[in-house]
Structure 1
Amino acid sequence: MMPATSGAIAALDAGSAPASDAVGAIGGILDRPPALAESILRSGTRLTQRWGHGAFHASLPGMDSHVIMTYYGAAQDSSWRQGSRRMSARTRPGSITLIPEGQDGRWDVEGPIEVSHVYLSDARLQSAAEALAQKGRAELIGRICFEDPACSRILELLSQEAARGDTASSLFVEQAIDLLCTQLLRAHSSEGAAEPPVIRKGLADWQVRRVTAYMQEFIDNEIRLDELAGLVSLSRFHFCTAFRLATGQTPHEWLTALRISEARRLLAQPDMPVTNIALAVGYQTPSAFASSFRRLTGMTPSAFRRGL
């Protein structure tokens, strides 16, 4: 999990650059902007309908609100990096990503992906903390694809209400935002979280890069765990544990994601048969390739090619 920001870096400290508008900052790195609901909620909080967008690989500045999102449909690789700190995971229904106000970093998220967002003002969060009689300022902990079915379900309900706009819907949305704040404070704040934020240990960045480069170089071959562990002088057991701690994925999951990424690139070449692509990325049969491709992208290789 990502470390808690200190009061959005103490409101970004006096004299530092002002926080960026969250909706504008996120919209600026996506191929489709957030599908915002028209209404602006109490304390300036905004929410979106459920919508889809493509992959993005870009840095986000510190933003002026807390951004909470949940996921629908096929899982995708997602990673965040800030200096030497990094987190990687896979998007999946029932999980949330939480970017606290003021937290910057580099994001790499594969697509296509389906999401809904809430842009929660810090004033609204602090008001909820006061109502819960929490002492001091509430500080949220950064999360990436973190399992929280309660938060995820609230976000899903909010996305369904985003397009309505009638009086009953407005009342429901305001109460649901209060409920979301309560869950965030209970499970994702420095005071309320059951466990304090920890720094994950595992392979060093250079070791992950070495393993990844080896996988890419021999992507059309069968790659064994012993080979990968030997690259960083670890036993198979310790390598698997360290790799997962460093990346949030098993070596097999990481290799599969690399193979499917390369397959996407090759599918853009219309004259290359799908069978040849399967062999080129390490699958012995077209059926095994199609199954793996569909599991990660939600579509068959042929359907993906037709959509290009």
Structure 2
Amino acid sequence: MLTVESRPHNYVDPALGETLLALPLTVENDCSWTWHINGRSVTQRVSVGRMLVVPPDLRSVWEVDGARTMLTLCIPNASFRSILGDLSPKAIRTALWNLSSDTWEDEFVEGAMKQLWNCCSGNQFLNAHLSDGIITAIVAYLLKRAGGPDSSTAPVSMPAWRMRQVRCYVEGHLSETINVEDLARAAGLSARQFFRAFREQTGETPHRWLAGIRLETAKDMLARSDERLSEIAEACGFANQSHLSSTFKLMTGVTPSQWRSLGGINRSD
């Protein structure tokens, strides 16, 4: 990230493997700029706060007729893909192409850019962590603004970190009613995206998987404690003791009491 103070000039930027986000901080009166990118030519007045994205891997030609100070963020393709993971578009250049047709204002991105610059110029230990979070937010925001894959029809996946978030949520709310919408929120996806991605990843529906988690937890409690069936049913999110017993026998072929006896815990429920 850098700030650039420039006078009127013409220049050529070669095609580089990085996305350029340029934010005007100060502008001389009646300053305009013209950019030519991949056959597209645009001329506009330069205005403070109206930023522009130059997609990666594209040569650009510029004509600027006034003085200006720019805050510029360069995001390498490798960083872009590392941040977005499986959601990263195959062709970043194509995904961000719409953002090079016009300048635009956005308080969130402008504030994020300035905060990132403050982090870069400081030496506090936490600045590095804050910078990572800001860059992640900017990358995701750019893709969303460009119309990237955030709709319910976009392909998504359930990587290990998402599964961990879902599992952690379930373990913390097992005694409660949990629906697909709850699991989707834990994964950071829409309910439709989550259901499709989860089934593709695990080979089973979220409902069946959740029932399995409840059952396995009940088994563990039966084997390791002498709690009553009604208490175990409540802790594991079953409607009542009868619900636990019927589900348990359906899935294992034995009743909870029989399973507990076979597990070596002698207690009458």
If asked which structure has higher relative contact order (CA below 8 Å, sep 6+), I would say: 1
TM-score of the superposed pair, with normalisation by structure 2: 0.48
Which protein is bigger by CA-based radius of gyration? 2
TM-score of the superposed pair, with normalisation by structure 1: 0.42
